[in-house]
Every structure is written in C-alpha cells, then in structure tokens.
Structure 1
Amino acid sequence: MSFLRLEIAEGIAHLTLVRPERLNALTQEMMDDLLTVCRQIERAEGAHVVILSGEGRAFCAGGDIDAWSDLSAEDFSRHWLRDGHQALDALARLRQPVIAVLNGHALGGGLELAACADLRIAEEHIRIGQPEPGLGVIPGWSGTQRAARRFGAQILRRMALFGETFTAQQALEIGLVDQLAPSGDGLTQARALAGTLRHRGPVATELAKMMINAAEGEERERVIDAFAGRIAASQPELQRGLDAFKARRKPDFWER
C-alpha cells in the first residue's frame, strides 16, 4: 500500500493518506488499498478506534483528476465510482469508531471520505467544499447521499449547487465538523479523544454504532443480519446442531 500507511498501537489504528505531493488526492490504487486496509482494521483485535488523517498540508483534495479524466463514461461509472463506493462504504461501516483529522483542506472526495467518520476534528486553517460540479461532474462516492444524511441536504446544496466553501469555524457552526483544533494539533486532540474509549465498553460501543448507522439508513440490512447472527451464535443449540452434524445424526433441539 504505497499511498496508505496503517499503524496499530495502544488500541488505536492510525490510517494516513500518504501522497502529499498531490495533496493526498485519491487514485484507483488508493481506493483499492483502502478497501483492503479496512478489512484488515475490521479484523484487528488490538484496534478499538480508528484515526484517519492526511500527510503534509492537506487532508485530501478529492479524486485525482488525472486518474479519472480520461476514462470512458462506462469505466467512470463502472469502476471509478462503483469501486470508490465500496471502499468508502467499508470505511463508514467499520465496527470501530472513526475519527477524521482534517489537518488540511477537505474537498470533493476528501469531504466524502471525512463523511465516513463518526467524528471530525478540523484544524482551524482548513476549508471544506464540493467543487465537482465546477468541473462538470457530480459529487460521487455518496457525496449527495451519505453526506446528506450526516450533514443535511441544505448544506450540500450550498456547496454542490452554488460552490460555497466553508472555513473550519463555519463548518463547526453548521455541523460539518464536530471539533476545532489549532493548526498542527489535530492529531493530538484526536488521540486524547480516542483515549476516552478506554472507559467505554467496546462491545456496547460497536453495537451502538451499528444501531446509529441503521437509523441513518447506513447498512440497515447488514445490521439486522449481524444482530440476528450474534443472538443465534450465542445460543447452546448451535453447538448441538454442530455436534449432530459431525456425528452424522439428526439434532434433537428439545433435549435437556
């Protein structure tokens, strides 16, 4: 993963976009790697919270224009948009709480990436916006769907339809971000916030996140399956069924 760096220590999975020379603009390779690393984080027993940040002076400038501008309409929709959706969905649906540190501008796909987090900390110098329609393209990767559920449709209208961008202070006031930090202090603030999860039940936190996501319309079907599966797997009859299967006999679930 040449443009993503994952470090797991002290319960924190720190995922960093590492393409500072291009303001951490996203490529197809980065989206593929993001999907892979989200699966790795999901299964990491030592990861209880995720911090997402960008290296250098930007959080993420969105999708790299050079990566998609020459694609055919079919490839743009079939691969660039669809694959990007899969990667960002995986990030939004991680079992762990995700804190995004907006240590630089979050534009277009960068805002869509930040929208996947459960909490956003913005350093005071940054700006946030959706410039895609100025290029003749829509905000993809749930820039009009998940972002609308999490920030409100009117905020998106101001950015996507009229090209408005917001300072960090304005973003805090309208709910695009949750906390402000002095420039350069976002990661420190995020780590302190992550530390508070040591005093909160990890299973209860995971389940609460799943239920909140379902209430928002995020992965509702998967949440129902996960809850039902967890209940079924915790029952003694599962072991009875497995024992009977291995012994090549019919299970008796009424047996005491």
Structure 2
Amino acid sequence: MSADRPDQAAEPGMTFSVKDGVGLLTLDRPAKHNALSTRMRSTLLEILEAIGTDNSVRVVVLRGNGPSFCAGVDIKEARPPEPSKRNALWTREHDNLGAAIGCLPVPVVAVLRGNVLGRGLDLALAADLRIGTPEARLAYPEVERGMIVGGGGARRLVRLVGESRAMDMVLCGKILDGRTAHEWGLVTRLVDDSELEEAALALAYRLAKQPALATYMAKVTVRSALDASAAVGAWTDSAFNVLGLSE
C-alpha cells in the first residue's frame, strides 16, 4: 500500500484510503446501515492484515457511511451450510474481526453514529478510542434473535463497564444512547453529529504525528494491563520506556 492514495473500492460495501499516515476504513453500505455481509467481513480482514505490515499507516479511522456505523451482521444474507462443527469453529476463530482490529500495531479510532449493534458493537469495542454522538444507539440484540455475542465482544464489554452492566446489555438487550454509553465508558469522547467527522480526523492526525514506536508500546501497555500482575506490568512499562528511547 502506498503512503497517499485516493479512495479505492475494495468491494461494494467497503472503501479504504490513506492520507498523511491516516487510514480511512469505511463501511459503505448505507442502505443496509452497513450491515456486514460475508464478503465484507472477508475483505475487512484482508485490509486489516495489509495495514498490519504497512509502515505508511500510523492510525486507522474506522467509520460507517450514512446514518449508522454498523447494524451488525446481515442476518438476511443466505449462507451455505457449514460442513462440520470442527470446521465451523476453526473458520470462526480465524474470522475474528475484533481480534484483528485489537492486534493492529497502530491506534484505531471508531466513529460512532446511529446504529452500533451486535457485530458492529464488537468492531467498536475492539478499537482503541471511540468518538460518538449523543444520538448513537449501542446494543447487543443477539439473544432475542436466538444467538449469542461473539468475537470477544462480551469480554471487552465486561472489562469496560463491569459484569452487572454487561449482563444488562447482553442478557436483556439494553440499548444505550451515546450519552449513557459515554457515562459508562463505552464511548471515549462525545461530540455533536455535525462535529463528529472533524473531531475524529483531528484526533487521528494528532496521533499520526506521534513517534510510532512509542505509540505502539503505549497501546500494548494499556491493553495488557488487565492480563498481567502489577510486578510484571511495572517491569514491562520500564522495558518499554527504555526501548522507546531508541526511536
């Protein structure tokens, strides 16, 4: 991928472009509120894999075209039968968009408006920063559809809001508006809809100007904080600071 290029359609429903170190990854299926088709998910994984090895990309802005960020998986899409439980589990393990986003070596800023539902909320929670509007609607409606939250979304949700609030959202399908989501810690920054894109891009370009190695190590430090003991965490932080001096 080149450092600067115009929007290119990866497929109907997805676009990606890079300018001044900021990658703009756009879900582009507005008539369906950017509901994810099987092909969109596959393409998104390919783009994320490419971003992971492209030094020209310093920050990723993940957004949706139209009135919504993402209404989840397109449940009306016809799907071929899965050949076996084992193969189905393997396929889904390697089709984990949340893990692919969370493992990127650059910050990911999610831009949230309208519906942020199901797998769409998974994508948002996997991002490092989330900028949303008061009118955004965040929810996990899976249970009422006979499904369960997948892609590591429930684990990320518990870490952000705690078990009790997570249970209300996952088990009861509680819908949060953007203001409540901000109060709960699901939305990092709350802005008016008219300012949303500008605020997200301003943050992204600011992050893109920071030292890349230090930014990456800062992201890893925060993400690993809940998985390490205090002693290991302190040692890791010290080591990262020493490594960061060489950039």
Would you call these one fold, judging by a TM-score over 0.5? yes
Q: Does 1:105 align with 2:99?
A: no
Q: Does 1:188 align with 2:235?
A: no
Q: Does 1:12 align with 2:17?
A: no
Q: Is the 8 A contact 2:59 2:208 kept in 1?
A: no
Q: How many residues align?
A: 222
Counterpart code for 1:26: L
Counterpart in the other structure of 2:159 = 149
CA RMSD of aligned residues (A): 2.6
- 1:160-239 paired onto structure 2 within 5 Å: 160-217=170-227
Task: Give the alignment partner of residue 48 of structure 2, picking from 14, 38, 50.
Answer: 38
Counterpart in the other structure of 2:5 = none
Which protein shows a greater Rg?
1
Question: So what's the TM-score if we normalise by structure 2?
Answer: 0.81
Counterpart in the other structure of 2:147 = 137
Question: So what's the TM-score if we normalise by structure 1?
Answer: 0.78
Structure 1 regions of 5+ residues with no counterpart?
Answer: 219-223, 235-256
Structure 2 regions of 5+ residues with no counterpart?
Answer: 1-9, 229-235
Task: Give the alignment partner of residue 56 of structure 1, picking from 59, 66, 91.
Answer: 66
Give CA-to-partner distance per residue, 1:143-195, whole Å, 9 cap, x none: 21233223432222111112211111111111110111211421110111122
Q: Does 1:82 align with 2:80?
A: no
Identity fraction in percent: 33
Counterpart code for 1:37: I
Taking the aligned partners of 1:131 and 1:69, their CA distance within structure 2 comes to 20
Q: Is the 8 A contact 2:22 2:208 kept in 1?
A: no
Q: How far off its partner does 1:212 sit?
A: 2.0
Q: How far off its partner does 1:207 sit?
A: 1.1
Q: Is the 8 A contact 1:81 1:140 kept in 2?
A: no
Q: How far off its partner does 1:10 sit?
A: 1.1
Counterpart in the other structure of 1:123 = 133
